[in-house]
């Protein structure tokens, strides 16, 4: 068994009806002959979309292959005891050249019952946003199921959605059950539970090249929606240079932001979890033991639980998301 090291994976590119070109023009990722790219899946254990190791002695093996072989050494003993051979997080970039559908994701209980799947709690980190770009998170007023149904039946769903203007570095946490959509002009990183279960509630009456509308999941979504109202849906944090800034802490993952212009050592010995780093800006060297890898904007790196310490050395300044399982 070869020694584990920080893993990069081959990017999985997704052509979407609402996708654009920013994956190429902003993130410098080549999606080849696809007309556009709406999503990239950077680290995925989702069946039919399992990531493949890009570099090193494990190159060509899937994330599941590596997990089955290394178990707790890859993900952490407690994580492996809980999730077994299922990798618990999914990392994406999303480029919305047009509005995504209004949608909702089921929680663990409902997803298990209907799909034998995990639920889908997620977070968004806005990488770049065009002037005037917006997104939806939750409702703009208190609702009951019956009140919601009346608005929906009258074609007035958009009237009750909380729409917010966004800018780069904004963060939104979306627990399962929260109605949401990503608006035109947003490029973002998404950290989420390993799940591909989405209930589409409204799709702006779009059609594909053959004139077909995408399937809606009107009835399925009703049991999944959290009708609660919140005064604030955006995650408020203070951006600080050369400090670890907490962004999200939930039952499924913890995410911090690192914005550094000097070297930093990260000691993961008390985590008992893998750590995922997503580079938002800059270039750096990730040192581990006597070895290192280079990391640049758009890279997602899985640091195995067996690597207790790494040093991040920037070439100038970098921004990173750091996520792990609590």
- DSSP three-state, residue 197: coil
Q: What are phi and psi of 154, to 5 degrees?
A: -85, 5
DSSP per-residue letters across 43-68:
E-EETTEE-BB-SSTTTT-BHHHHHH
CA 178 to centroid of chain Cα atoms: 15
Q: What are phi and psi of 294, to 5 degrees?
A: -95, 140
Of 64, 114, 141, 200, the active-site residue reads: 200
Q: Which residue has the tokens 């951006």?
A: 239
Token code pair at residue 65: 């292959």
CA-based radius of gyration for the chain: 20
Judge whether 200 counts as a catalytic residue. Answer: yes
Contacts of 232 (CB under 8 A, 6+ apart): none
Contacts of 98 (CB under 8 A, 6+ apart): 17, 18, 20, 184
Taking the alpha carbons at both ends of the chain, their separation in whole angstroms is 27
Instruction: Give the catalytic positions in this structure.
Output: 200
């Amino acid at each position: 068994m070869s020694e584990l090291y920080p893993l990069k994976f081959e990017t999985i590119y997704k052509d979407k009806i609402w996708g654009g070109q920013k994956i190429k023009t902003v993130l410098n990722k080549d999606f080849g002959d696809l007309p556009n790219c709406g999503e990239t899946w950077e680290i995925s254990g989702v069946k039919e979309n399992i990531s493949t190791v890009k570099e090193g002695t494990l190159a060509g093996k899937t994330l599941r292959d590596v997990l089955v072989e290394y178990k707790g050494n890859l993900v952490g003993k407690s994580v492996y005891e809980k999730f077994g051979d299922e990798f618990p997080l999914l990392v994406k970039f999303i480029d919305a050249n047009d509005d995504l559908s209004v949608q909702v994701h089921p929680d663990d209980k409902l997803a298990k019952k209907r799909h034998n799947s995990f639920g889908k709690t997620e977070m968004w980190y806005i990488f770049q946003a065009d002037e005037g770009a917006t997104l939806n998170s939750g409702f703009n007023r208190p609702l009951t199921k019956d009140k919601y149904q009346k608005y929906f039946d009258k074609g007035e769903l958009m009237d009750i959605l909380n729409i917010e203007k966004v800018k780069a570095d904004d963060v939104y946490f979306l627990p399962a059950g929260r109605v949401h959509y990503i608006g035109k002009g947003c490029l973002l990183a998404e950290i989420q539970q390993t799940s591909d279960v989405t209930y589409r509630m409204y799709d702006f009456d779009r059609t594909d090249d053959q004139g077909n509308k995408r399937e809606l999941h009107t009835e399925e979504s009703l049991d999944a929606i959290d009708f609660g109202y919140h005064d604030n849906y955006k995650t408020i944090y203070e951006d600080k240079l050369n400090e670890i800034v907490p962004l999200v802490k939930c039952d499924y993952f913890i995410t911090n932001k690192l914005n550094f212009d000097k070297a930093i050592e990260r000691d993961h010995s008390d985590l008992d979890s893998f750590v995922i780093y997503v580079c938002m800006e800059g270039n750096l060297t990730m040192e581990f033991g006597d070895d290192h890898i280079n990391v640049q904007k758009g890279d997602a790196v899985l640091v195995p639980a067996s690597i207790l310490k790494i040093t991040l050395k920037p070439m100038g300044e970098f921004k990173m998301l750091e996520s792990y399982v609590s």
